[in-house]
Structure 1
Amino acid sequence: MRNKLVEFKHVSFRYGDDQPWVLKDCSFCIYENEWVAIIGHNGSGKSTIAKLMNGLLFPQEGEIYINGQLVNDTSIWNIRKDVGMVFQNPDNQFVGTTVQDDVAFGMENRGFAREDMLKRIEQCLHAVGMEAYRLTEPHRLSGGQKQRVAIASVLAISPKILILDEATSMLDPKGRQEILSTVADVQQQHALSLITITHDLNEVTQSERVIVMNEGEVWNEATPRDIFKEKTALRKIGLDVPFVALLTDELREQHIQIDNEPLNHEELLEELWTLHSKM
């Protein structure tokens, strides 16, 4: 059984005493080596959850544990060794004049030995396919390349948890797919827990588990396949469902019997091919 890496216990949060609650009595767990997608409409509390995990914010009520350690003022620097974040706009994370300087920054702050830093820079840039750009100025990179460098910079400090907070939202579809492929490979190579906070349904379908937020509360958590069975309920809380799920419903209305819930085009084609072979 996998160990818990993130645990929210009855967490509530608001941005000021006179403000409405952004999170209300939230409880959930995320386990080691797990890919979890957190989705919800704008204002549902998704990004606040990410900031609470990293100690950028603290809850007014409830407790948060990262790798068994309570998140508070005393533990915050230890917590941030375990939790790495990549934000929507990578330009906000760059501090170095070259790609390798940026990857080195977090390690320098933590007192890594120079020999270890050089080795990690090479390894992390290789992991995201950016080793050829190590002497490039970050502002000269494309959006997708910048996100790859941001991921490499986080990987360099060896976190147990990698959070992508809308990290693909500014990219075109090809760039999004490249970053998703990169993070999937990185998760396997580095045995990370991966948390993606996203509106991109392609990211959601690739995850192991989905936590759906609605008006600051955990509305549901299940596998992507089970979540997207609830098409009508999802629409009621302002969320989309994958095109393949809609197409599957249309086919069923035309009396084409599809037994399972395909998540992508390949699975739908497999269902149709299986049905055809039985005829």
Structure 2
Amino acid sequence: MSTPYDIEFKNVSFQYPQSDEWALKDVSFHINENEWVAVIGHNGSGKSTIAKLMNGLLTPQHGHIQVKGMEVNEENIWEVRKRAGMVFQNPDNQFVGTTVIDDIAFGLENHGFLRDEMLKRMDYSLKAVNMEGYENHEPHNLSGGQKQRVAIASVLAVEPDILILDEATAMLDPKGRRSIMETVHHVRREREVSVITITHDLNEVLFADRVIVMNDGKVWREGTPREIFNLHEELNQIGLDTPFVTHLSSSLKAEGIELGQEPLTHKELMDELWTFYSRT
């Protein structure tokens, strides 16, 4: 028997109460094991609705959602949430403990872990997000980036198979966003975990293996970051911009400077330019 996807949406439709429009319209996709997928789209495209459906915070009117082969429903919602941990946009809404260590312990206690195992997991999760030494700090007095790292640590302590970041860097400055993405990247190197990034920041997409683009409640495109960023004009038409590097690459091509592939980073752009000039 084949291994089930980490997450699978099958013909999912969802409509908020008092709304005449469907937030999601017959949406189907899957997330493979140990895959990093970015879900992007403009405001109102349906991407944040997807995050809440994954974690059972919302229930679809039509279709089915499975997490690690389990149907997401009231009967197994707590097991689903153990497997799929979510970090929200505002970490203050997640904090329940008076100190960092209390906050991490809260989730472990809810899942029934014994004290010795809790101590090991709290130590591991704090090291994973580079927050050792902050155990007795009050979460609300930390910086925005530190708060998000603590929120991630609280989720990691339970050792979920899937980490869902729902606009988790939206309230941070560019340096803070980069730090959180590097933290998640580090966690993935340490242990196998699937990551779903729900974001409007296209720079975060560079970390992903695959991108799902939402538009008007539907899956508009799927592909690698390179394939998606190559759709400059189409992305602009649905209200999405592309990173500076891809803008510059497009301008260079318009001037007759043909690059071998769509660069995603400054380093890739420099490498492509060196290759181009070595041929001329």
* TM-score bucket (shorter structure): over 0.9
TM score, norm. by length of structure 2: 0.97
Counterpart in 2 of 1:8?
A: 9
Q: Secondary structure at the match of 2:212?
A: strand
Counterpart in 2 of 1:114?
A: 115
Q: Secondary structure at the match of 2:74?
A: coil
Distance in 1 (alpha carbons) for counterparts of 2:6 and 2:189: 17
Distance in 1 (alpha carbons) for counterparts of 2:242 and 2:255: 20
Kept in 1, the 8 Å contact 2:13–2:62? The answer is yes
Q: Secondary structure at the match of 1:4?
A: coil
Is 1:143 the counterpart of 2:106 in the alignment?
A: no
Counterpart in 2 of 1:127?
A: 128
Counterpart in 1 of 2:251?
A: 250
Counterpart in 1 of 2:99?
A: 98
CA apart distance, 1:278: 2.3
Counterpart in 2 of 1:78?
A: 79
**Alignment deviations for residues 173-203 of structure 1 (CA, whole Å, 9 cap, x no partner):** 1111111100011122121100001111211
Which one is further off, 87-96 or 1-10?
Answer: 1-10
Counterpart in 2 of 1:174?
A: 175
Counting only pairs closer than 5 Å after superposition, residues 1-279 of structure 1 correspond to structure 2 as 3-16=4-17, 19-279=20-280
What is the number of equivalent residue pairs in this alignment?
279
Q: Secondary structure at the match of 2:190?
A: helix
Kept in 2, the 8 Å contact 1:128–1:148? The answer is yes
Q: Secondary structure at the match of 2:133?
A: helix
CA apart distance, 1:18: 5.2
Kept in 1, the 8 Å contact 2:4–2:69? The answer is no
Question: 5+ unaligned residues in a row in structure 1: which ranges?
Answer: none
CA apart distance, 1:2: 7.2
Q: Secondary structure at the match of 2:270?
A: helix
Percent identity between the aligned chains?
A: 62
CA apart distance, 1:257: 1.7
Which one is further off, 70-79 or 96-105?
Answer: 70-79
Measured at CA, do residues 156 and 185 of structure 1 come closer, stay the same or move farther in structure 2, by a change above 3 Å?
Answer: same
Distance in 2 (alpha carbons) for counterparts of 1:165 and 1:186: 17
Which amino acid letter does the alignment assign opposite residue 194 of structure 2? S
Question: 5+ unaligned residues in a row in structure 2: which ranges?
Answer: none
Kept in 2, the 8 Å contact 1:2–1:31? The answer is no
CA RMSD of aligned residues (A): 1.2
TM score, norm. by length of structure 1: 0.97
CA apart distance, 1:259: 2.2
